[in-house]
Amino acid sequence: MVAFVWAVTGMIPLNIALYKIALQHSSIEEGHTSNERLEFLGDAVLSLAVAEYLFKKYPLKGEGFLTDIRSRLVNRDALNELARKIHLDKVLRYDPSLLKKIGGKSIYGNALEALIGAVYLDQGYERCCRFVIDRLIGNYVSLKNLIENDTNFKSRIIQWAHKNHVQVVFKILLEKQYDYYKEFTAQALIGDKIIGEGTGRTKKCAEQMAAQQALQQTEQEANGRPID
């Protein structure tokens, strides 16, 4: 555990117990300790660190731009991918059999937030910010590509629908309440036909994920493959 923390953060842990908790999912009922509380804290620290970084890096950009780029950096898919890049998925402890029952689409991204919470408590805000900005974003994220690639999937599928003279409707299918956060499931529909489904911490994020899947479906159809 010490070697992993050192390799990922570049810092020697002062309280290794925090990191052990961060890397233990709630599906492991060992001492009734899981990473959910640290995840809650890490989510807030991550959002502030990224907001402060973008605010200083792009002094001439407006609120809309800053909000959009921050959401792309910290959404579930981005955090899951980032967690895998630092091999967090190899050290996270969880029960695979129980995980299938409760759903596990976001466990790695959630654990990354818990790790950030652990670094914050162990090393303080300034060093935690350096970990987030220099070690995570600096090493694994291309802001140039992020800005140039339009990931407003909902806007794109609505444009596609307008061009093809159909109407896409989004609806929230499910809302789950966990200890410290909610998770929403959204669907994108054309009439009664479901063309996309996605989950997220907010309704907006869930709709974006549903829209992304819908775009993939429409691209399949455009290439001559029928939508399932």
Return the active site residues.
43, 113
DSSP output for the chain: -HHHHHHHHSS--S-HHHHHHHTB-TTS-STT--SHHHHHHHHHHHHHHHHHHHHHH-TT--HHHHHHHHHHHHSHHHHHHHHHHTTGGGT-B--HHHHHHH--TTHHHHHHHHHHHHHHHHH-HHHHHHIIIIIIIHHH--HHHHHHS---HHHHHHHHHHHTT--EEEEEEEEEE-SS-EEEEEEEEETTEEEEEEEESSHHHHHHHHHHHHHHHHHHHHTTPPP-
**Both tokens assigned to 32:** 């009734």
For residue 112, give the nearest of 96, 142, 90 by alpha carbon: 90
Cα separation, 66 vs 84, in Å, equals 25
Q: Assess contact for 181 and 114: CB atoms under 8 A.
A: no
